[in-house]
Amino acid sequence: MTDAEKAQFVLGVYFRTQAAIEKYLGADGLPAWTDRVATINSEAMLNRIEDPAGRARDLLTGLATMLDVYGSDTVRTDEPRSTSLAVRRCGIYDYRERAQAQGVELTLRRPCEYCVDLHHRTADKLGVTVAHELGERSCHWTVQVPEAGPGNDLP
């Protein structure tokens, strides 16, 4: 197997696992799952990044990386007091369509149903302000970056 084939295999396993979790939990159980994943993500970030400004800037890094794996068209912009991620075309949509054509059952109408909830819950657990705007197969995220300094950590 080539490296590209291995990457696609792993991506397929991840995608099918997430689709199975969504189907098994259903609409009523998904928020608890999303909250658990947000807890894991936020605890890992708190252990990895001490600075609240660094955590705010890093919030979109995981999303940008995941979108890149799916071949999305994204632009990241860092300003002194904010960081943003513009997703001009979400490759997860394309992947979902191919997977569904191959028989994968999809529970969620749009991948945004999971993604938006996850990132807002993670931000809340970190004390970070995040905003998003959804388009059709696109979105825009903005995270406010707190000023660095003493007393600017989580309560």
Provide block-wise average pLDDT over 10 residues at a time, the chain (155 residues).
85 86 89 95 95 93 90 95 96 90 89 92 96 96 84 48
Asked whether residue 68 is domain-assigned, the answer is yes
Using DSSP's 3-state secondary structure scheme, residue 89 falls into strand
Tell me which residue range forms the domain holding 43.
3-144
pTM score, whole prediction: 0.85
Residue 155's pLDDT is what? 42
Residue 15's pLDDT is what? 85
Residue 11's pLDDT is what? 83
Asked whether residue 149 is domain-assigned, the answer is no
Residue 149's pLDDT is what? 58
Asked whether residue 155 is domain-assigned, the answer is no
Give one DSSP letter per residue of 37-62, joined into a string: HHHHHHHHHHHH---HHHHHHHHHHH
- For residue 40, what are the β-bridge partners? none
Asked whether residue 120 is domain-assigned, the answer is yes
Residue 20: which CATH number?
A: 3.30.1380
Residue 59's pLDDT is what? 93
Asked whether residue 42 is domain-assigned, the answer is yes
Burial class from Cβ neighbours inside 10 Å (0-12, 13-18, 19+) for residue 32 reads exposed
Q: What tokens appear for 129 in the block?
A: 């302000």
Total domains, the chain:
1
C-alpha distances out from residue 66 to 15, 27, 61, 96, 118, Å: 11, 23, 9, 14, 13
Q: Which residue reads 């995270």 in tokens?
A: 143
Asked whether residue 117 is domain-assigned, the answer is yes
Asked whether residue 154 is domain-assigned, the answer is no
Asked whether residue 150 is domain-assigned, the answer is no
